[in-house]
Chains A and B, each alone.
Chain A
Amino acid sequence: MAKKEIDDRFKKFGTVSFTAITKTNDFIDYLANGKVMGSRCKNCGAVYFPPRSDCSSCLTSSMEWFEVTGNGKLLSFSELKYGPVGFEGDLPYIIALLDYGDYKVFGRISADLGYEDLQVGMMLKTEANVLPNGQLNYIFARP
């Protein structure tokens, strides 16, 4: 490669992605293969979601990927009637926070779950998802 190419894989993330280039771009390749990944520090064991390439606990950069598997506990949720710029077309949609014990995952609830179906404390799983326009994201669905 004569000239360094711009690694802008995060352009595929979400309905709209505001994410600039990061060292954790492999997140997108994993997502395309159906896996939602976080990162773990090989030095001190700290766990990060979203993934980080540098550990803020011990300040080293020896990280490994791990897959977000199993169920997380629904910590809370809210149905948005107004959204941030770029997401107006998705409204209304439900945002949520899942607790996996060592880390928490922010995300959106699967479209087949309604507001009435949700209760704080219920178990949900995190799933990679392909949107109709080809963009990638992840959603929370029934186990």
Chain B
Amino acid sequence: MSTGIKDKVAIIGMGCTKFGEHWDKGSEDLTVEAFIEAITDAGIEKADIQAAWFSSCYEEINVGKSALPLSRTLKLPFIPVTRVENLCASGSEALRGAVYGVASGAYDIALALGAEKLKDTGYGGLPEFSTILGTKNRVIFPSLSAPGSFAMMANRYFSKYNLSMEEGKRALAKISVNSHKNGAKNPRAHLRKAITEEDVLRAPIIASPLGLYDCCGVSDGAAAAIVCRADMANNFRKDPVFVKALQIGVSSGEELGYTTWDGTYVETTTRTASRAYEEAGIKTPREELSMIEVHDCFSITELVTYEDLRISERGKAKNDIEEGFFSRAGKIPSQPDGGLKCFGHPIGASGLRMMYEIYKQLQGKAGERQIKNPALGLTHNLGGLPQMNVVSIAIAGI
């Protein structure tokens, strides 16, 4: 009988580069930097690693295909290295591979590393989607953009819950203000500028109602984790972090079919969260979670995720946002490191970057951003669009 992943694997070392515009570095430099921080943190040697999982999303750009970019960059000694890709949730997929490899008993120590180098592609958002969504999906809608599809979620949400455009946009603005406030305190964040609600509301529109500050950008960066058997963890450090749940859910495509899906939530998040809470033994997430790092590719994504994670009631996230529930001093701080919005979004590294912040916070090493006595953190890593996507949810604790 299956028993889930809870408390079988520990994270004993993590590394994360500064995210941003690394014109002077290649993906190899970023990979090495994240790796050295992770093994130094864990107190292990390269030779201690028995298997590795590598994530990168836009493989033709800079990084290259297969697992070779990782094994050759680090000169890993002919060990098994697996390449994974699952859109923007790729980084969590690498962590899942390493954690499951160790949980299976096949390995004692494994590495997960994600890297992406996008800024020198010359494109402002993501590079061309045509080859990503595949033949059939492209028939749906050739002129669709990622901001546009999430913007439709915002308009639909405002309409369903009777928010005026002004009320809705202001609620979203508070989300971006919170991320910028946290990101400004993070030396590794891509964007380190505090902003006001008025800045958000006055910004140029990308896809109505979403403006510039409602959208995250893309970045260059890499992040890494060293995981080991839970019963070995204290041999390496006194403050290991334990994996409590690691779930991935992928759309079946039915959101656009017979279902009642109305575009105001992400079905995959609700289902994956339920499985993750069950695996971790969490009954009331609003009471039990200490902090969250969610996939704020757009401000509206963060808002509906509060509800999809069953932290806020349906239609009530706005009240929690206004009361500061998700601010660093609030009940469940969200995006303490600045999130995708400010820390940045090098696609294949983002899931691991989220866990990096949870890991540091749980160890009390988050410096100026430290949350008071956190015990349980959640990462939510989403790839794709509201109507078809991959969602990965990880929960870690001490």
User: Which residues of A approach B to under 8 Å, CB–CB?
Assistant: 10, 13-22, 24, 27, 46-52, 56, 75-87, 90, 93, 95-97, 102-104, 106-108, 115, 120-121, 137
Q: List 20 A-B contacts (CB under 8 A).
A: A15-B142, A18-B138, A19-B138, A19-B139, A21-B135, A22-B136, A22-B139, A47-B257, A48-B257, A50-B140, A75-B156, A75-B262, A75-B263, A76-B153, A78-B208, A84-B129, A90-B143, A107-B141, A120-B156, A137-B142
The answer to whether A16 and B263 touch across the interface, beta carbons within 8 angstroms, is no
Contacts of A56 in B (CB 8 A): 252-253
A17 vs B258: C-alpha distance in the bound complex, in angstroms?
Answer: 27
- Tell me whether B62 is interfacial, beta carbon within 8 Å: no
Contacts of A103 in B (CB 8 A): 256-258
**What distance in Å separates the Cβ of A20 from its nearest Cβ neighbour in chain B?**
4
A75 vs B149: C-alpha distance in the bound complex, in angstroms?
Answer: 12
Pick the most buried of A18, A56, A115: most chain B CB atoms within 10 A of its CB.
Answer: A18
Q: Who on chain A is nearest to B130 by CB?
A: A18
Q: Mark B296-330, 1 if CB is under 8 A from A, else 0.
A: 00000000000000000000000000000000000
**What distance in Å separates the Cβ of A10 from its nearest Cβ neighbour in chain B?**
7
Q: Mark B147-179, 1 if CB is under 8 A from A, else 0.
A: 111011111100100000000000000000000
Contacts of A137 in B (CB 8 A): 142
Main secondary structure, interface of A, reads loop
Q: Who on chain A is nearest to B150 by CB?
A: A78
Contacts of A81 in B (CB 8 A): 204-208
Q: How many residues of B contact A (CB 8 A)?
A: 41
The answer to whether B155 and A78 touch across the interface, beta carbons within 8 angstroms, is yes
The answer to whether B136 and A76 touch across the interface, beta carbons within 8 angstroms, is no
The answer to whether B156 and A82 touch across the interface, beta carbons within 8 angstroms, is no
Contacts A85-B128, A121-B159: A77 and B152 contacting too (C-beta < 8 A)?
A: yes
Contacts A78-B208, A102-B258: A83 and B142 contacting too (C-beta < 8 A)?
A: no
- Tell me whether B106 is interfacial, beta carbon within 8 Å: no
The answer to whether A78 and B136 touch across the interface, beta carbons within 8 angstroms, is no
A97 vs B209: C-alpha distance in the bound complex, in angstroms?
Answer: 16
Q: Who on chain B is nearest to A90 by CB?
A: B143
Contacts of A75 in B (CB 8 A): 152, 156, 262-263
Contacts of B208 in A (CB 8 A): 78-79, 81, 115
The answer to whether A84 and B128 touch across the interface, beta carbons within 8 angstroms, is yes
- Tell me whether B144 is interfacial, beta carbon within 8 Å: yes
Q: Mark B207-235, 1 if CB is under 8 A from A, else 0.
A: 11110000000000000000000000000
